[in-house]
Structure 1
Amino acid sequence: MAFTVQGDGEPAGGIDTTLGDSTSLVITTNLEFARWGAVFGDDTMAAAVIDRIVHHGRLVLFTGSSYRVTHSLMT
């Protein structure tokens, strides 16, 4: 799947779904779906992207403290 954005932040062609059901894709984010509209600049576009991602997919939600943040050199 590919999502293309023009220089002005506007979608430029939509979503490419040529990977189909034959390829695995892992996406990690700390941003809940409700806030994706701000990233894509459009709630409708964000909803379409989320729909494509979760269709036949599995969501894994981790809770608790982050090992990476807890053991960061910056702390």
Structure 2
Amino acid sequence: MIGNPGRGKTHMAIGIGLKACAGGKSVLFKNAASLSTELSEAKDNYALGKLEKRIQKVDLLIIDEMGYVSFDRFQSELLFKVIADRSERGSTIVTTNLAFSEWTNLFENTAMVAALVDRLTFRSYVLDMNGDSYRLDHSKNSA
């Protein structure tokens, strides 16, 4: 899901996650920055394999807010591995405020960005949710 802030990407991802849970599917919701930190800490504590297996087992992984923080090379590689391991094996939702062409600002390795986007977009739906902010509209109408 790609769109400006305030367009309901997180809200929709949570709704899809809840519907999946109601249907008996396992769901994991993670903020992109928190996930990269958790992966880095797991690596430092020799628990990365266990965390990666847990992530790979879920039916739906939701990575929220990809685009608000950049990742160093190490974090980029860890995130790439999670997404690559799930490719064609499990469903993944990513919410972002950046077009794919701008993801080179998030990750140091441009070749990896191309591979990451390729894996995320293969057999997927890309929802363009750009437009005016619902929160801003609500604030204007409340005033």
Question: By the TM > 0.5 criterion, same fold?
Answer: yes
| Runs of at least 5 residues in structure 1 that lack an aligned partner in the other structure | none
The residue correspondences of 1:5-44 to structure 2 (distance < 5 A) are 9-11=72-74, 12=77, 14-16=80-82, 17-44=84-111
Moved more, 40-49 or 10-19: 10-19
Question: Shift in Å at residue 21 of structure 1?
Answer: 3.4
Larger RCO, structures 1/2 (Cα 8 Å, 6+ apart): 2
Stretches of 4+ moved more than 4 A in 1? 2-6
Q: Which residue of 2 aligns with 1:67?
A: 134
CA RMSD of aligned residues (A): 3.1
Determine what percentage of the aligned residue pairs are the same residue: 27
**TM-score, normalization by structure 1:** 0.67
Q: Matched residue of 1:21: which SS?
A: coil
In the TM superposition, residue 46 of structure 1 has moved relative to its aligned partner by 0.7
Higher share of residues assigned helix: 2
SS in 1 for 2:81: strand
What 5-or-longer segments of structure 2 have no aligned partner?
1-34, 44-70
Residue 45 of structure 1 deviates from its aligned partner by 1.1
Q: How many residues align?
A: 71
Which amino acid is the alignment partner of residue 19 of structure 1? R
Superposition TM-score, scaled by structure 2 size = 0.39
